[in-house]
Each structure stands twice: as C-alpha cells, then as structure tokens.
Structure 1
Amino acid sequence: MKKLAFLTLPLLLSACADSPQERADRARKAFASHDYRAAQVDLAAALEANPQDTALLELHARNALAMGDGVAAAASLAKLPEGQRPADFALLSSEASLLKGLPDEAIATLGADMRSAAQRIRALALLAKDDRSGAAKSFAAGAAGKPDARLLADYARFSLMGADIRQARALADRAKAADSAMIDAMLADAEVATAEGRLAEALSAYETAAKAYPGNLAALAGKAAVLGDLGRTGEMDKVLSSLAEVKGGGQVAYLQARAAAARGDWATVRSILQANEGELADKEEATLLYAQALVALKQPEQARAKLQPLLTRNPGSATLRRELAKAQLAAGDPRGAVETMRPFAEVQTADAEDLRLLAKAAQASGDPDAAKLAEKAKFPSAQAMAATLAQADAAMKQANWGNAIAAYERLLAVTDGKNPLVLNNMAYAQGMVGNKSKAIEFAERAYKVAPTSASVLDTLGWLLVESGKDRQRGLTLLRQAAAKAPGNATIAGHLQSAEKG
C-alpha cells in the first residue's frame, strides 16, 4: 500500500499542474496588466512545451523588451519565421540591439524608417554613441511627426540631461496627452516633477506607475528616491525591501546606501557602494556618498582620492569642493582645504556654512587671513541673505517646493530661527510635499512668534484640519484668520472647505 501511495503521488501532482495552454493564457493576461515578471514565468513554461509557437515567441520578445532584456528578446525574434513576423519586427529587433549595447546594429536595423517610433530608437542609439547633437535632431524630428508617447517621454528625459526643465515639462505633458497610461509617460512626468522640486507630485506619479506596472524597477526606485529626498526614510526602506528580488544593480544599491546614510550607518554605506563600485563608476552622487562614508569611517585619504578627479572635471561644483575640503581637513591637510575652499571667500553670496569651513581650515593651517575669514563667517552677508531669500521666493512662486525648502533651511541655519515669514513659508512648502508632521512643527513655531498674523493662522489652521491632527483647533484658527483678513480668498476657501468637511 505504501508503495502504491508513493507511485501515485507524481500522477496526482501532474493532474493538478496547469497545462501549457493555461500558462500561455495566464501569461497573456499578465502582459496585458503590465505584470511582466509574472508573464515571464508562465511564458517560459508555455514555450518549453511549444518552442515553435510563433505567437508565444512574439509575446516573449515583447515581454522581454518591456523588462529591458535585449538578449532574450533577440533570441525569440530570431526564431520567428520570415513569413510570420509582426509588422513592427524591425523596430523590435532594433530595440533589442540597443538593449544589448549595440547602437550601430540598432541604427542599421532601422534603415530609412523615419516614423516617430524609429526616431526614438535612433536618438537613443546616437546618445549611446555619445552623439548628443544627432540624438537631439532625431528626437526633434520624431516629435514633429505623429505624437508618440514613448518618444516624447524619452525626449523629455533628454531635455532634463541638458538642464532644460521648461522644455522637459512641455514634452512630458505632451507624452501624457498622447498616452497617459503608458509607463514611459508616467515616469517622465515624475522625473520632471522631481527636477521642478514638486516632490509631492513626483511621488504621486511614481506611485501611480508602480500600481499600474507591478514590480517596475524605475517606478519603485523613483518612489524610493523621492521618499529619501522628503526625509521619509522608514517608507523608503519599505519600498527598497520590495525590490529585494529585482535585479536593480547599481540603481537600487545606491538607494540602499542612501537609506543607510540617513540612519548614520556609514559602514553599511561603504559595504554597499564597494560591492557595486563598477556599476556606479559613472554616478557622481554615488562617489560623493562613498567619500562621505570614508571620511566618517576615518579613511579620509581614500575619500580624497575619489573626490579630487571629480572636482578637476567639475571645478564649479560647490558640493564637491565642500566635501573634498572636509576630507582634506580630516586627513590633516588644512592648507589643501583652504585652497579648495578659497573661491568662496570672493563670493558675496557664499553660504555661511561654507565660510565657516574655510575659516576653520584657515585657522588650522595658520593662514594669515584666518582672523578676517573667521569674522566674515560669523554672520552671513546681506548679499547672501538677500540671494537666498530671492531663491526661496522664486521657488515658492514656481511651486518648486524642494528648492524652497532647501533655501529656507539655509536661512534658518544662519539666523535665530524666529522669522515668522520664513517659518510660515517653510511650513507651507513642507505641507505641499506631503511632510505634514514637519509642516505642522514649523507652523507652530511661526504661530508662537506671530500669533496674530492672518497668514500664520491660516497655514497652521489648514494643516491641522487637512492632516486630521486637531480639526477643532484648526477651525478656530481659520475663523480667526478669516476675521483678520476678510478679503483674502485663500483663507476664505480654506475655511469654507474645513466647515464643509
């Protein structure tokens, strides 16, 4: 009896297994719902049973391209008989070549095709060949034709590379108008919103993309990055944990290192970046983070070796100068730190933080200008304060909340932190990026300094109502604000919405 039970077990398991047709049907459904990883599993099983099925081979190729796997896509495309190839076979083959790192082959496969979809691949291939001028021409030619969401989205990213945020926004909006449900359009919108400092909108766009395209690396990595920018490291860690099974390479590794840095775990930062050094070689921010970790772990000489070549290539970077000077000081080279930071002494709008670092290096090196630099570093110049305020004001008007927050942080760091305008605007900007707890904290500080200001009452009141933290107190504050400024439409609108809710 025992032997019979043992022999029938495989038969029972076989009877319960899905048939190749069922796996194929499930793969088609997964592909249609953009769950490409799930589709890949079922396609592999279905093709094992029917390796010459042209419909399955084509679907496998398209699914592989959606996952960024040019090798697998090319292999399936090569198996399609010439008479049974889809109409866009050349485009599919060209994109597979591009993903395989063969831009010349990709361009050759396109031939004389000048449609927008072909121009997109041609532009990306030229970009891979470092022909930015040629890529720009192909993108522009494609954008002038019939609207293609993928081309417009990639053109928007290309514009961001050239720091043309205005053009990038226009292109991202056109991509959304052409096909708002396409992942490329969603990601371009999120990336441009991040560049614009509209972090709440960027986070929302990434979340929408991640829900519509389960497991999409770019969407999840983008979401994690924005959460990190917002200081929401706990939520960032949760997103990163969901990427544990995704081969994200350097992109995910860098985000993991950022999260570790936010926790002050510099040993983990070094370990992660060291293990992925090859893949992150061209990512300047990763090298910068690596150097910061090395300084924190008492290895400043190694940090200097990483930072000096970057500063040589980009001498105008204030961030690189700052971090290199810190490494030089830690390595016992204050004179080198002075030379690195000296350009800030001539800048009327230099941040007080940079001036203090320069003064510290000058004092340690015995520089004859040390006393003068120390005096200058005590208080920010009127020009520096005015410049920072102007930057903050411009960012607020442009709804660039990320830049506004950064500017207000610099102002608060060099003042007594009691300016109600700065505190109130900081509260508003933090609220707009979704950091409600921080927003309320700054609004409370503004209220403590200026409890009769209609603007301050409105900001704190609306945040308390909107967050649900203290609705009754929020209503009271909004009514006080409305009484003090009866003609203010924004305050009236907040009060009306609060009373309705």
Structure 2
Amino acid sequence: MKRSIRLVLPLVAFGSLSACGDSPETLFASARENFAAENYQEARVKVAAALQEKPRDAAMLALLAETHLRLGDPDGAEGAIARLERAGGRNTARMKAEAALLRQNPKRALELLGDDASPEGWRVRAESLLALGEDEGARDAYEKGMAQGGDIRLAASFARYLLVNENLVRAARLLKRMQQLGPNSYETLVMSGDLASAQGRDEEAARAYRKAIDAFPDRAAPMLALARHYDGIGKLDEASRLVEQAAEVAPNDTEVDQMRIQLMSEKGEWEQIRLALQARESELDAGSPLSMTYGEALLRLGHAEQARLLFRRAVLVLPGNPYARLMLGEAQLATGDAQGAWATLAPLAASTLAQPEVIERAAQAGRAVGAPEAEALQARLDPTRIRETMALVEQGEGALAGRRWATAVTVYERLLARGEDGEVLRRLALASSGLGDAAAAIRHADRAVSLDRRNADYLYVAGAVRLVAGQDLPEARRLLEAAALIDPRNAEIARELRKAKAAAG
C-alpha cells in the first residue's frame, strides 16, 4: 500500500471554515457526506474544523481517524485514534490494525484485529495474510467476508487479488457485486477499467478510467492507468498530459515519476531526462527503471563511459534483462570495447525473437572483432526475412496478451522450428499451461532452464507451470527459490514462491 502525502493545512484554513458561520454539527454533517462520496481530503478538512469547537466529540474523532486511514496516512490515523480513546471512544482495534498494516506490519495488524468479523475486519485480515505470504488464509478471509455480505472495499481488494492471480472469471463476478454495492464508487470504476484491460478490451478500459478521472479528479491511479493505455497505442502526448495531471495530484509518487521519465525516453528527450535525474544519480538503485533510463540518456548524449558503468551494474543485478544487456553492449561499442560488446550482444542476437536493433548492434560488434557469425546476423536483417519474423513475434505476443493459448502455441512452435531458443520455449510453456497441457508446459520450461540456468524468468516459469498443474510441488518451490535468489526484487516471483511454499508444506 502506498502512503499518501499528508496535506498540512495552516490553522487559519480551519478557522476560515468555522468563520463562515457553520456550526460544528453542520461541518460534521458535511464531512460525513464528503466521506460517503469518497472525497476524503475535504472530509478531513471539515471534520478537523468541527473538532476545533468540539475537540472531544467521539463521533467526529472516529470519522477523522477513518478519513486518515482512507488517505493512507497512519500518522494522522494513530493521532486521531489516541484522541478518540482519551475521549472515551471504544472499538478502535480494527482502526489500529489498519494503521499497522499501512506501516507494513501485518503481524501486528493481525494481533490487533483479534476476531473482528466486520467487512473491514475481514479485508484487513486478508490483506495482512497476503503481506505475510499466506495466500490460502487470505482467500479464506475474503470468502468469509463476502459470504457475510461484504462491502465495496472488501470486494475491491478481493477482486484485485483475483486479477493478480489471473482468475478473471471470478474477478468479473465480484465486479458485478461491486456494481450492485456502489456502481459509481471509485473502487468500482477503477476495477471496471482494470478488468477490461486484463481481458484485452482496451477501449472499454480507457472509457472506465476516464470516467474514474472525471468523478475523482484527486486520484492519480486512474490517470496513470489511462496514460499507460495511451502509451501502448502510441498517443504519447495524451499520455504525457495525463502524467502531468497525476503529478499535480501526487507530486511525490514514484509511479508518476517513473511514468513521466519513461514517456520522455520514448520521445527521445534525453537532455531533459539527464537534467531531471543527475542530482539523484547516487540514490537510483542499480537496475531500476529510472537508473537504466538515465543510463540510456547518458549514452545518447555521448557520456558512454558513465553509461557503461550504470549498465554493468544493472546486468549484475538483472542478468536476464535484455534491455540492460543491449544498452551495455551499445555502451561497450561506444567506448571502443568491441570484444566486450560482442560477448554481451551475441547471446541476445542468437534468439529467434531478437529485435532488429539487437541483431544490428551484434552484427556491428561481430564485424569489429572478426567473428564469423557476423555475416549470418547481417543476413537475418534482410527486409523480407526480418519482416516475416517480426510479424510472427507480434502475433505470438498478441495471442499471449489476449490469452489465445492455441494460437500462441501454434506461433511459438513455428518459431521454435527455426532453432532451440530459451525465450521461445518460455513463452511456449506459458501458452501450453494456459491450454491445460501441463506435461508440455513443464517439458518446454525445463528445456528453457537447461539452456540458461541463471535466467530468473526461465526458472520462474518452470516453477509456476508446476504450481498451476499441482505437480512436483517440491521442485516447483526449488525452482522459484532459485529464481528469487537471482531476482529478489521481482514481485511476481515472490508471490508464486509464497504459493509454492504453502502448497509444498
């Protein structure tokens, strides 16, 4: 969960509200209306103003605490809860538990929650269990909460869990329940977009996100989601406008920052990227998206040696990342290290799925060192040949994204016929698993691992397809543990490893 930036208003702002002549009761009633409409910033301002006149009003303090929780502000929530308890308020355990969860302390959240069986309690319990890697317990909590009637936030949290785990059918059923509970709520509008996006209904997703933005202009998430949609279809200017709009709402949000820099890179605005990131260079994690985009900006601006150092670190952290390896190879070429560039780029270019720029850079490095393979690489760049290959690659990617498993299998089998290729095998394993052909999925995934035992993606898929099939669970766990050691920051690997540990016992 993200912690939102607290909006600190001077006391004169609260005084001006009170000075308008509104009584504490009127302000409190208005705050409750704002809260019900999910306008939490306004609700917080008004209830805080009401509390200036009635500082020990338990109902007002409870609303203030809940508002801080909705804003993702554990500091403010805990302060309001302490005031509420001093004023004689009770039943604060669930609020304390939610604040603990916001502080990323799920064990403490569960302790505080006790046997709370409210919809809010089931949601906090499920999210705490998820944070602890106990997926089965979390799902049980979600199911029990929904069986008792649930509420919009519980349903939204459960639906998001199902989306992450690609159970789109059940997520769609939950969305229908959300549309009954709150058809115009923020949670329902955003989930409508997220589900449509996951199902490949891009235009419907865009409409849902636009509706959420119009209804809740103070939320950054749907702006970013729509910006990603526009980015995917090449509407970079529209995407950039949405990101700038999101930056006004959430100026310190890391996702907003990353999306802005990503769009600048797609536009080739390298000098702007350098200026934006150079003061933060020492703070950028090796292999992070911002670090690698900064490295590319330096490379494009002629600072090849500095770029080479950044991408060398990125490859050490993410040895299977093709972008990091391509950029390292380019930087090596630019610094005169043709031998190093050939060693870096040749394995990338050997893949049937290699993009033209990868093949071209590898051929350049190969020619510089006199590698006999350079001629064959150059032949692959024949316009007719490369166009046919890229058409197949695009068809396969589209089939995977659209979950058209049979088509994906057909395409990747055709590509595999051109030669043994770990990335083709990985994708073929995913498609076979989607078709329910566990034996083929495991066979293809294991072949990919045999080609590169240090590739976290190959290890991950080999473990995941076993987990999906419920077969050879100890081996699934071993493979996923190996993947996690290579790529410890990968959230998908971590999630599947938690499942494997639970399944294997």
Give the TM-score band, short-chain normalised: 0.5 to 0.7
Structure 1 residue 384: Cα displacement: 3.4
Equivalent position of 1:226 in the other structure? 229
In structure 1, C-alpha distance between the alignment counterparts of 2:130 and 2:306, rounded to whole Å? 33
Quick check: which has more Rg, 1 or 2?
1
> Residues 213 and 347 from structure 1, CA distance in 2 versus in 1: closer, same or farther, beyond 3 angstroms?
same
Q: Determine which of 352, 360, 364 is the counterpart of 1:356.
A: 360
In structure 2, C-alpha distance between the alignment counterparts of 1:160 and 1:185, rounded to whole Å? 14
Counterpart AA for 2:340: G
Structure 1 residue 359: Cα displacement: 0.9
In structure 2, C-alpha distance between the alignment counterparts of 1:331 and 1:303, rounded to whole Å? 10
In structure 2, C-alpha distance between the alignment counterparts of 1:310 and 1:153, rounded to whole Å? 36
In structure 1, C-alpha distance between the alignment counterparts of 2:162 and 2:286, rounded to whole Å? 19
Describe the superposition over 1:208-248 as per-residue Cα deviations: whole angstroms up to 9, x where unpaired.
22233331122223223323333323323333343314344
In structure 2, C-alpha distance between the alignment counterparts of 1:287 and 1:124, rounded to whole Å? 31
Structure 1 residue 203: Cα displacement: 2.0
Structure 1 residue 63: Cα displacement: 1.4
Equivalent position of 1:468 in the other structure? none
The yes-or-no answer on 1:190 pairing with 2:193 is: yes
> Residues 171 and 235 from structure 1, CA distance in 2 versus in 1: closer, same or farther, beyond 3 angstroms?
same
In structure 2, C-alpha distance between the alignment counterparts of 1:96 and 1:200, rounded to whole Å? 37
Describe the superposition over 1:292-323 as per-residue Cα deviations: whole angstroms up to 9, x where unpaired.
22222323333333334443444333333323
- Aligned partners of 1:97 and 1:105 also within 8 Å: yes
Equivalent position of 1:203 in the other structure? 206
Equivalent position of 1:334 in the other structure? 338
**Bigger Cα displacement from structure 2, 93-102 vs 324-333:** 324-333
Counterpart AA for 2:290: A
In structure 1, C-alpha distance between the alignment counterparts of 2:67 and 2:27, rounded to whole Å? 15
Counterpart AA for 1:260: M
In structure 1, C-alpha distance between the alignment counterparts of 2:265 and 2:129, rounded to whole Å? 36
Structure 1 residue 36: Cα displacement: 1.6
In structure 2, C-alpha distance between the alignment counterparts of 1:324 and 1:159, rounded to whole Å? 38
> Residues 250 and 279 from structure 1, CA distance in 2 versus in 1: closer, same or farther, beyond 3 angstroms?
farther
Structure 1 residue 270: Cα displacement: 3.2
> What is the DSSP-based 3-state SS (H/G/I as helix, E as strand, rest coil) of the residue aligned with 1:79?
helix
Pairs within 5 Å for 1:420-431: none
> What is the DSSP-based 3-state SS (H/G/I as helix, E as strand, rest coil) of the residue aligned with 1:58?
helix
Equivalent position of 2:417 in the other structure? none
- Aligned partners of 2:97 and 2:112 also within 8 Å: yes
In structure 2, C-alpha distance between the alignment counterparts of 1:113 and 1:320, rounded to whole Å? 48
Equivalent position of 1:347 in the other structure? 351
The yes-or-no answer on 1:388 pairing with 2:403 is: no
Measured on the aligned residues, the alpha-carbon RMSD in Å equals 3.7
In structure 2, C-alpha distance between the alignment counterparts of 1:334 and 1:80, rounded to whole Å? 68
Equivalent position of 1:175 in the other structure? 174
Equivalent position of 2:139 in the other structure? 140
> Residues 113 and 81 from structure 1, CA distance in 2 versus in 1: closer, same or farther, beyond 3 angstroms?
closer
In structure 1, C-alpha distance between the alignment counterparts of 2:368 and 2:105, rounded to whole Å? 53
Equivalent position of 2:306 in the other structure? 302
> Residues 399 and 66 from structure 1, CA distance in 2 versus in 1: closer, same or farther, beyond 3 angstroms?
farther
Counterpart AA for 1:170: V
> What is the DSSP-based 3-state SS (H/G/I as helix, E as strand, rest coil) of the residue aligned with 2:389?
helix
The yes-or-no answer on 1:318 pairing with 2:305 is: no
In structure 1, C-alpha distance between the alignment counterparts of 2:190 and 2:175, rounded to whole Å? 10
- Aligned partners of 1:362 and 1:370 also within 8 Å: yes
Counterpart AA for 1:361: A
Q: Give ranges in structure 2 of 5+ residues lacking alignment.
A: 1-15, 413-505
In structure 2, C-alpha distance between the alignment counterparts of 1:390 and 1:322, rounded to whole Å? 23
Counterpart AA for 1:384: T
Structure 1 residue 141: Cα displacement: 1.0
Describe the superposition over 1:394-432 as per-residue Cα deviations: whole angstroms up to 9, x where unpaired.
3697599xx9xxx9xxxxxxxxxxxxxxxxxxxxxxxxx
> Residues 262 and 394 from structure 1, CA distance in 2 versus in 1: closer, same or farther, beyond 3 angstroms?
closer
> Residues 264 and 397 from structure 1, CA distance in 2 versus in 1: closer, same or farther, beyond 3 angstroms?
closer
- Aligned partners of 1:172 and 1:185 also within 8 Å: no
- Aligned partners of 1:116 and 1:141 also within 8 Å: no
Describe the superposition over 1:31-62 as per-residue Cα deviations: whole angstroms up to 9, x where unpaired.
22222222222233222232212121111112
> Residues 275 and 28 from structure 1, CA distance in 2 versus in 1: closer, same or farther, beyond 3 angstroms?
farther
Structure 1 residue 76: Cα displacement: 0.9
Between the aligned residues of both structures, percent identity stands at 30
> What is the DSSP-based 3-state SS (H/G/I as helix, E as strand, rest coil) of the residue aligned with 1:298?
coil
The yes-or-no answer on 1:257 pairing with 2:261 is: yes
Equivalent position of 1:459 in the other structure? none
In structure 2, C-alpha distance between the alignment counterparts of 1:350 and 1:382, rounded to whole Å? 12
In structure 2, C-alpha distance between the alignment counterparts of 1:193 and 1:327, rounded to whole Å? 40
- Aligned partners of 1:186 and 1:209 also within 8 Å: yes
In structure 2, C-alpha distance between the alignment counterparts of 1:203 and 1:234, rounded to whole Å? 16
> Residues 28 and 120 from structure 1, CA distance in 2 versus in 1: closer, same or farther, beyond 3 angstroms?
closer
Counterpart AA for 1:178: R
> Residues 55 and 392 from structure 1, CA distance in 2 versus in 1: closer, same or farther, beyond 3 angstroms?
same
> Residues 221 and 272 from structure 1, CA distance in 2 versus in 1: closer, same or farther, beyond 3 angstroms?
farther
- Aligned partners of 1:142 and 1:151 also within 8 Å: no
The yes-or-no answer on 1:93 pairing with 2:92 is: no
Equivalent position of 2:157 in the other structure? 154
> What is the DSSP-based 3-state SS (H/G/I as helix, E as strand, rest coil) of the residue aligned with 1:81?
helix
- Aligned partners of 1:350 and 1:384 also within 8 Å: no
- Aligned partners of 1:291 and 1:303 also within 8 Å: yes
In structure 2, C-alpha distance between the alignment counterparts of 1:223 and 1:280, rounded to whole Å? 26
Structure 1 residue 117: Cα displacement: 4.4
**How many residues are matched?**
382
Q: Give ranges in structure 1 of 5+ residues lacking alignment.
A: 1-11, 408-501
